[in-house]
């Protein structure tokens, strides 16, 4: 049981470091390509999910920002 706790703590620490070094991941909507096909299929449009940046904030980074700035971060 102690081994699982140790492995979990090491994994959590590694993920926290990765979120600080690389705060963004590829957008799930466009897979980082920043664009999607229009409904007609003839044109490209910026991805609505990421706003055309191709990036999204990772979940761990979002949690860090929430703890750092509290609930006022979204205002």
Give tens-digit pLDDT for 4-62. 999 999 999 998 888 888 888 888 888 778 777 777 878 888 888 888 888 888 888 88
Predicted pLDDT of residue 48: 82
Burial class (CB in 10 A: 0-12, 13-18, 19+), 32: middle
pTM equals 0.60
Count of domains forming the chain: 1
Predicted pLDDT of residue 2: 92
pLDDT over 60 (residue 74): no
Predicted pLDDT of residue 56: 86
Measured on CA atoms in the order 38, 42, 44, 45, is the torsion positive or negative?
negative
Cα–chain center distance at 69: 18
Residue 17 belongs to domain spanning:
2-74
């Amino acid at each position: 049981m102690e081994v699982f706790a140790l492995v979990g703590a090491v994994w959590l620490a590694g993920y926290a470091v990765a979120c600080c070094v690389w705060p963004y991941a590829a957008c799930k909507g466009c897979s980082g390509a920043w664009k999607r096909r229009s409904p007609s299929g003839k044109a490209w449009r910026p991805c609505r999910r990421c706003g055309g940046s191709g990036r999204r904030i990772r979940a761990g980074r979002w949690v860090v920002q929430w703890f750092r700035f509290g609930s006022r971060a979204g205002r």
